[in-house]
Structure 1
């Protein structure tokens, strides 16, 4: 059991759709790495045990970081902001690692790239990204 993200259209997932997925633990680690990359300690933020205010975070990655793991959605507007920021973060984080250095990151990079593809698909189709 884990987290799956999908296009929020009536007919659901279609063949060929990107389908990024993580275990809940893995998704938490992925988000912590993204947060560190932009200078945020998630444990200090509201929703992760701290009092930090998400409205002070300017990075579009906040849409993914300040979100429930297993429910809700990202709007088309949030997806449009998030896609290029996530792609940039994945590239920058990955520049410091060789394939095989960090097996968890090797998985995260593939799932993260699928998430970027899903975000772009949802923007093109004007549908939200659903968490489930």
Structure 2
């Protein structure tokens, strides 16, 4: 079998690979979720919207991988994750981020304030 790196997009405009992944069996896509999340580190990348669309078809499965991103130091990536992925997930998935969102909304770090993560956290909390 191909390695995950052979399947994932190779560059910011690699929509062909995303379309190929969309046609795969769901169980074969699951191990790709962490790698796919990396392609929404910047929603301005041409491949990001199609990756986002794919990730949203795995609302429960993507939760632990999103939690990994939210526990990282990349506040810019967190902004994209919250604004374009978490807020679009079904409420059953969004509620799993309640502890993190509450902390960011109530006691954001200086970096979280600068990235306006507290604002999006409040917005998402209003929906759960």
Please, what TM-score do these two structures have when normalized by structure 1? 0.31
Structure with greater strand share of residues:
1
Instruction: Tell me which of the two structures has the higher relative contact order, counting C-alpha pairs closer than 8 angstroms and 6 or more residues apart.
Output: 1
